[in-house]
Chains A and B, each alone.
Chain A
Amino acid sequence: MSDPMLHPTDTALFKKAWKYLRPELPLYVLAMLAAPASALLVVLQPYLLRIAIDDYIQVGDVAGVQGIALGYLGAVLVAFVMEATYTLAMSYGALRSIARLRGAVYTHTLSLSRSFFDKRRTGQLLTRATSDVDALGETLTAGAVTIVLDVLLVVGILAAMLWQNAALTFVILLMAPVIAVVLETIRRILRRLYLEVRESLSALNAYIAERLSGVQVVQLYSDEERSMTQFGERVTRYRNATIATNVWDATLYAIVDGLTSVSVALMLWYGTGSLLEGALSAGLLAAFVDYVDKLFRPIREFSAKIAILQRASAALEKIFGLLDNDDRITAGSRSLPENADGFSLEDVTFAYGEEGPTVLSHVDIEVGAGQVVALVGRTGSGKSTLAKLLTRAYDGYEGSLKLGGIELSELHPAQVRSAVSTVEQDVRLFPGDVRFNLSLGADRTDAELLEAVRLVHAEGVVERLGGLDGLITHDGANISVGEAQLLSFARTMAAKTPIVLLDEATASVDTLTEALIQEATNAVFAHRTVLVIAHRLSTIVNADQIIVLDAGQVIERGTHRELLAADGAYADLFHSQFGEDGNHNSPSTDPA
């Protein structure tokens, strides 16, 4: 899946990048001042060679030639300082700029809405903040550095050549059309190929990342062979693209390399007449041979540089495609009244994305402060979606969704989230210690955290991990699914928000622990507004209100008693769960 990409010109891209480069402007200015000095020396060197040969060696002036040599030495030392200054200033500026850009990419990505993440692979988003940002750094340090120098050099050398002998310079320039045609042709081919290399590599890496994340499934279902075949297709595509790139790259390099010698031959052939007539000296010829070599060198390495520049411009395009993406939750400016702890949905309809099927359809729910409301329904009926809307994970609902009497879109998402916390179905723990996982950086004392742990009966888990300082390894591999769920529950309890959403909060926890948690949390929840989503109906019989969802619609509501008495979908669900022999239900009782 590729990001929706604009195609701004490279200059427009670099203009955007400028925002991150500007703070290091003094460094870049310093670099730009130092650069011409080192280029000047390169231009000067063949000239000095010519003077040495024509004015001193030919006339036998030993002191003169040594004087020239010492003058040259002086210039070399100045150039050395200049080049070091240039390199250092440029890399310092570039590295600081990209660290800043990396931070911007990271914070921006974290601020985007869930629908943004749903459409993308995290592996690819990771690339934005790592290798794409690094590609820009590479351009600034390696690419831009040499490109600026190269341009200065080519211009300087051509100027020096024209000044010393225009006719001989034009002979060399005869090669220019040939070089231009070769460069342009191969550049076009390479541009296409580099794109293919990048795309095939990113597909390959994404494939590897996904298969390795699910390697247990691959092994359990003996899917190794098919995986190897799929991998093989991707790796072959990448390999073929890279080999083709190398062939053209080598061809370009070799052609320019050979043309250098052809130019020298051309000069020699043309120069012979002039030299004999005395219009051209041996020193000048030597200087020109040197100039030609220096002129062709940057051109020879041109293809490597287009690769760098192209990578950078592709990377920038992706980075700014991301930074320009504003798929964020609308942030309103109204503030939430103190103790806002009731919420209401009025005619709420919602679909994931524009083409997605409708997940919630004309839902009306009113939850008063301190109420416990339960959502019931089969999987995929829209229960979790409703909870996600309440925490502002998604925007774009129709109808009205109010918290403390204020429309959600008129509040800042952060405000909503400091009033509503949730135990999500997909438990997520982070590499780090237990303390961080429970507080997620919020200012909470150890006592508060331990209190939350005690409330959800997770003391055993925390103790086994080594207390609050205990480490959770990558992917929470050192704890079971049920244990992770307990920690996630504790995290929500520690947040102490007036509204709590429990989305299958204890689905993987055993019933007796669940009962203990329920007892312990009853006291806490007495003063809070709670929305419970549960499969195990035993956990919700005491709810103030039970709402039955089916295919996104509310089909029943009432208390447990009322719903049992109504003998509808809820009663059917309930009996099937607690019937003496779990399979007494019949298809005719399907809720309609």
Chain B
Amino acid sequence: MSTATTRERTAVFEARGLTKVYRLGEVEVHALRGVDMELYESEFVVLLGPSGSGKSTLLNILGGLDVPTAGTVRYREHSLTDDDDAALTRYRREHVGFVFQFYNLIPSLTARENVALVTEISPSPLPPEEALELVGLAPRMDHFPSQLSGGEQQRVAIARAIAKQPEVLLCDEPTGALDVQTGVVVLEAIERINRELGTTTAVITHNAVIAGMADRVIHLSGGKISHVHDNPTKVSAHDLVW
């Protein structure tokens, strides 16, 4: 499925002229400077770029966590840029799964409860146990975040993101805080979700090796897309080495 060509497929996201300027202390940061892009159904895309290239900002805007200063984003037939906070919240709740670099688990809840936190507000979720099974954490689901390793915590975060059966899975440096072996396990989990559930997946990284597992790679630099390339020779996460 994910290996099929992308030409005739429906675009899940369509962004035009995205610009984002925000203030950081006393500095004005131009995070995005006019980005046009699409994301297609069921594809696995890697957004590659050095830090400060604008990739996190782009992902946050696609996920409805942030709004652009200028430009438009459409999610299927729906314009995200016209949405207010309530509409964006509903959009996130129903369609988007997030994985963050620092997991952002709720420390006072166990793995299972962290997943349940999301399934309880979703229209058609997987049972939390099943979601944890998918990331290989069924045996540890009653552990608190502080009792889990970094990789395990990130897999809980992935289970939490996919348990709502989102149409898109957005991962921001999911392996950024992890060592190689753990990173691979996490990436395998993401790969499996993409493959088995057909979830459109976008992964941000500055690690070029990870691009090897993508259908398509979008390179960003200085807040612009420098180039996009298809990756016909997709490798499994298992075979990645860095």
Same complex for A and B? Answer no
Mark B residues whose CB is within 8 Å of A: none
Mark A residues whose CB is within 8 Å of B: none
